Chains A and B, each alone.
Chain A
Amino acid sequence: MTDTPPAPPRTEPARRPRQTTRDGRPAGPAAAAARKPPGDTRTRGRSWRDSPLRRATPWFFLAVPLALLITFTYVPVASMISYSFTDWDGVSPDRAFTGVDNYVQIFTRPELFRVFFVSGYYLAASALQIGVALYFATVLSFDLRFRNFFKGILFFPYLINGVAIGFVFLYFFQDGGTLDSVLAWLGVTADHPWLGDPTSANVSLAGVSVWRFTGLNFVLFLGAIQSIPGELYEAAQLDGAGKWKQFRHIIAPSIRPVLSLSIILAVSGSLSVFEIPYIMTGGATGTSTFVIQTVKLAFQFNKTGLASAAAVVLLAIILLITWIQRRLVPDDKVDLV
């Protein structure tokens, strides 16, 4: 800041043409515009702007980012799609083209298909999570004592290392662990291995996911609610609107963009659960998820082809859901550009 020279007034004319062209409107002297081929809106008033060096400048800045983006996002997506039509094992130099065989397997072999149902537990958990987060965000948007303390408590789990959370809750659900002890203290004897059967294990793991991720939704909702101007509430109160009406007519509409974002994150998150079940049960007792299964197929059983097909299916589902959300909520304020 300090070494920036004060802007001399003569810079103004030089700046203006650029700003107008950014809006897509051809600007600048008509003579300059006439020199350009039709359709070229990058009209320039000065010749140095068109020098090859200047035109190359943005590419100096973009070269490395684009190279990384293409190498680590687009190349993998492309090669993943091509692997998915082969029986490649990930190591050997040769692979056979097997057509859609891998995709047929994913949708017909029940043990491969079953992982989709596990996502259902996490999806239900996400609904609970969004509800809880919304409740606490509403409550804490009012002026309460120890507000920052409660805000910190609710958010902190989101920041904790996933492996540590996994271990904390392994102990929590252990026989004679935290949960059993608390229940015993309340007079309930629960002689039940929490992670012992598929339903109970999945519910428990989904519960951990609620514990871990509610904080993020909560902070997003709280931010949205706090950006509502206070006069709105005052006006509503003068009109005799109660708390529920204030929520229904002031808070609810203003958090819609964040809510729709949270739902998208919840759905794609539920489909790509990995850490908590992998760390806590390793995918045993019916807790395997789509990503656990894919990782095991690819890196333990060397079925790169089949794993790629599974990943393509997951990617397609997530893209489809995002597309549906974009269509349903077109006036999304949480826009990407």
Chain B
Amino acid sequence: MTPAPTTHRRRLPVGTALTYLSLLAATAVVLLPLVVVLLTSLKTSEEVSDGGALSLPGDWLNFRNYATAFTDGHMLAAFGNTAFILVFSVGGTVVIGSMTAYAVDRFDFRAKKLVMALFLVATLVPGVTTQVATFQVVNGFGLVDTRWAPILLYMGTDIVSVYVFLQFIRSIPRSLDEAARLDGANAFTIYRKIILPLLKPAIATVVIIKGITTYNDFYIPFLYMHSEDLGTISTSLFRFKGPFGAHWEAISAGAILVILPTLVVFLLLQRWIYNGFAQGATK
């Protein structure tokens, strides 16, 4: 967690104007491509082919393209599939990550160093490189073209969350465990009733990072789920472009439909998102 920024209340430098100018330029660079796509999504097909990219739509409430993108892009099924994968993989990641952290931090056992090394070395193996062979493993289980392929892969290969939990679990006093143990609680009860509830902030971090990366992931669903009805929002949007190649108003609407939930989540959870990604990336 970053401390409150109030410690930096200092006088503004002379180059304040230039500073603001650079910030405004950055804002324009970030927003312009997005705003143009938003405008395009509200235009009719004729407006797109006749007017320039920066022209304004004639009817600001023309949502026909959104309807096209939603139905022809199979967006309802896509959001359903993404939600299904999201729930299971995020839930699984929380359970697996916290169990691993609990076992490693709270118990002394012979192979502990080896277990830690296994998790540590795995962080160095980028998932994109091993998919050639991972595909054969998943294929061996008969899971290709099912929603369980991405769920298992998201759950099983997330080592960052193990570190987030590990770091947090160290700050939970061991006396709590010991007290419960003397009261007759077994290791699982301690994990379930004491550790897990106290891990809430870490769980929030993991849910946010995992949720957003799962929502945005293209590579895994693209490789493992070929069926049309198994599209996630990434792959459905990708496939939508095929038949609508030249209809920028429809494609733009599809892109905005996908971005909108992210924007809402970001506006609601800003502070947790910054902290979550800062923590997640430095692990």
Query: Are chains A and B native binding partners rather than an unrelated pairing?
Result: yes
CA of A163 to CA of B30 in the docked complex: distance in angstroms? 17
Q: Which of A175-194 contact B (CB under 8 A)?
A: 176-178, 180-182, 184-185
- In the assembled complex, the CB of B240 is this many whole angstroms from the nearest CB of chain A, namely 9
Q: Which residues of A contact B108 (CB under 8 A)?
A: 18, 21-22, 42
For B219, the closest partner residue in chain A by CB is: A274
Give the distance to chain B from A146, nearest Cβ to Cβ, in Å. Answer: 8
Say whether A33 faces chain B, with CB atoms less than 8 Å apart. no
Taken together as a complex, chains A and B put the C-alpha atoms of A152 and B26 apart, in Å, by 12
List the A residue with the shortest CB-CB distance to B136. Answer: A79
Interface residues of B in 207-227 (CB under 8 A from A): 212, 215-216, 218-219, 223
CB of B201 within 8 Å of the partner chain: no
Q: How far apart sit A87 and B163, CA to CA, in the bound complex (Å)? A: 39
Cα A216 to Cα B3 in complex, Å, equals 19
What DSSP secondary structure best describes chain A's contact surface? helix
Please, which residues of chain B bring their CB within 8 A of the CB of A174? 53, 248
User: Is A295 positioned at the interface, with any CB of B under 8 Å from its CB?
Assistant: yes
Contact (Cβ within 8 A) B270 A163: no
Interfacial residues of chain B within 6-33, with CB under 8 A of chain A in the complex: 7-10, 12-13, 19-20, 22-23, 26-27, 29-33
Interface hit among A107-115, A123-131, A312-320: A312-320
Tell me if A328 counts as interface (CB < 8 A to partner B): no
Report the nearest B residue to A80, measured CB to CB: B133
Interface residue B168 (Cβ < 8 Å from any Cβ of A): no
Does A141 have its Cβ within 8 Å of any Cβ on chain B?
Answer: yes
Question: Which of A168, A298, A334 counts the most chain B CB atoms within 10 A?
Answer: A168
A178 contact from B36, B135, B174, Cβ within 8 A: B36
B64 to chain A, nearest CB (A): 18
Whether a CB of chain B sits under 8 angstroms from the CB of A249 is no
In the bound complex, how far is the Cα of B10 from the Cα of A230, in angstroms?
A: 9
**In the complex, A151 Cα to B23 Cα: how many Å?**
10
Task: Decide: B258 and A164 in contact? CB cutoff 8 A.
Answer: yes
The smallest beta-carbon distance between B236 and chain A, in angstroms, is 9
Check: A135 CB closer than 8 A to any chain B CB.
yes
- Given A161-B262, A172-B36, the answer on whether A272 and B54 have CB atoms closer than 8 Å is no
A8 at the interface (CB under 8 A from B): yes
Query: Quick check: B156 and A71 within 8 Å, CB to CB?
Result: yes
**With contacts A65-B99, A216-B277, A272-B129 known, is A141 near B8, CB below 8 A?**
yes
By a CB distance below 8 angstroms, the chain A residues around B278 are 219-220, 223
Contact present for A171 and B248 (CB under 8 Å): yes
Contacts of B100 in A (CB 8 A): 61-62, 65
Q: How far is the CA of A42 from the CA of B109 in the complex (A)?
A: 8
Asked if B272 is at the interface of the complex by the 8 Å CB criterion, the answer is no
The verdict on A322 contacting chain B, using a C-beta distance below 8 Å, is: yes
User: How many chain A residues touch B (Cβ–Cβ < 8 Å)?
Assistant: 120
Task: Decide if B268 is an interface residue (CB 8 Å cutoff).
Answer: no
Q: Which single residue of chain A is at the shortest CB-CB distance from B254? A: A167
Interface residues of B: mostly helix, strand, loop or mixed? Answer: helix
Establish whether residues B53 and A15, one from each chain, have CB atoms under 8 Å apart when the complex forms: no
Is A176 in contact with B274, judged by CB distance below 8 angstroms? no
Residue of A nearest to B35 (CB): A178
- Are B132 and A304 in contact, with the CB atoms below 8 A? yes
B34: interface (CB < 8 Å): yes
Closest residue of chain B to A336 (Cβ to Cβ) is B120
* B87 proximal to A (CB < 8 A): no
B residues near A265, Cβ cutoff 8 Å: 281
- Is B182 part of the binding interface, using a Cβ–Cβ cutoff of 8 Å? yes
For A195, list chain B residues within 8 Å (CB).
Answer: none
The smallest beta-carbon distance between B160 and chain A, in angstroms, is: 10
The contact string, 1 if C-beta is below 8 Å from chain B, for chain A 41-76, is: 010000000000001011111101110111111111
B197 near A1 (CB under 8 angstroms)? yes
User: From residue A318, how far is it (CB to closest CB) to chain B in Å?
Assistant: 6
Contact residues in B for A92 (Cβ distance below 8 Å): none
Centre residue among B23, B29, B273, B275 by max chain A CB count within 10 A: B23
Instruction: Decide if B179 touches A142 in the complex (CB within 8 Å).
Output: no
Interface centre among B33, B115, B233, B270 (most CB of A within 10 A): B33
**Nearest-Cβ distance from residue B52 to partner chain A, whole angstroms:** 5
On whether the beta carbons of A5 and B103 are closer than 8 Å, the reply is no
Q: Are A7 and B179 in contact (CB under 8 A)?
A: yes
Provide the bound-state CA to CA distance between A4 and B175, in Å: 11
The distance in angstroms between the C-alpha atoms of A229 and B4, with both chains bound, is 10
Q: How far is the CB of A310 from chain B (nearest CB, A)?
A: 8
For A15, give its contact among B9, B136, B175, B237 (CB under 8 Å): B175
Query: Told that A58-B106, A164-B255 touch, could you supply 6 new A-B pairs with CB distance under 8 A?
Result: A4-B194, A11-B175, A159-B266, A234-B10, A268-B126, A279-B238
For the complex of A and B, list the 7 residue pairs with the smallest distance between their C-beta atoms, beginning with the closest. Answer: A68-B156, A230-B7, A80-B133, A61-B103, A58-B107, A76-B133, A7-B179
